Amino acid sequence: MNSSARFWNRIATRYSRKPVPDEEIYKKKLEITQSYFRPEMKLLEIGCGTGSTALTHASQVSHILAIDFSEKMIELAETKRNSAGIRNVDFECRTFKVLNLPDNSFDIVLGLSILHLLESWNETIQNVYSLLKPGGWFISSTVCIADSMKLFKFIAPIGRSIGLLPELAIFTRDELVQGLCSAGFILEHEWQPEKNQAIFIVVQKPR
């Protein structure tokens, strides 16, 4: 188990009790995301955390595979799913670097609040591209730390070394968009509610 997984395992229960920071922004992201859904779609969510978003979307699509590298997060997500009686969402503990899933398997991939927590974020984007069917969508919400907290690249290694911070990737909005476009995606939609907040991006794999 890597240090990031240990970090998220340790805080999973506390994390699950935290309210959404901005309910209106969260609802708008859900609304935009669901505008791309069709009932027959298969969806993958990477970095699903305790599963709230996947379970919210469950009634809108055929099936959801939701994964996270924290075993404790997945345990909490499964408890929520079972309590709600939802049958078309599967939660699995997986690493994101090597997803080991068939290419062209999913209509939509969600990566919400996860790319900036991955050292190999560019590689993950490339993996997502391969997993999507032609014409499929990748929908992400990402904090571009290099734009909003320029000194964080010096602080983050210290925080990780003493266990106060998880793995963090320091990149700009422009670097994120370049990474998406370099993988082959076409930019469809971009929204940043306010300066220094997460950037919500929808990109499409060409048909």
Each residue's pLDDT tens digit, 74-124: 999 999 999 999 999 999 999 887 788 999 999 999 999 999 999 889 999
Q: What percentage of the chain carries pLDDT values higher than 70?
A: 90
Question: Which CATH number is 97's domain given?
Answer: 3.40.50.150
Q: Is the Cβ–Cβ distance between 144 and 199 less than 8 Å? A: yes
pLDDT at 157 over 70: no
pTM of the predicted structure, to 2 decimals: 0.90
Of the candidate ranges 15-29, 36-50, 67-81, the one whose mean pLDDT is the lowest: 15-29
- Full residue range of the structural domain in which residue 79 is found: 3-204
Alpha helices by DSSP H, the chain = 3-17, 23-34, 52-57, 71-84, 121-131, 145-148, 152-161, 173-183
Task: Check pLDDT > 80 for residue 166.
Answer: no
Query: How confident is the model at residue 170, as a pLDDT?
Result: 87
Question: What total of structural domains would you count in the chain?
Answer: 1
Strands 42-46 and 63-68: parallel
- How far is C-alpha 103 from the chain's CA centre? 19
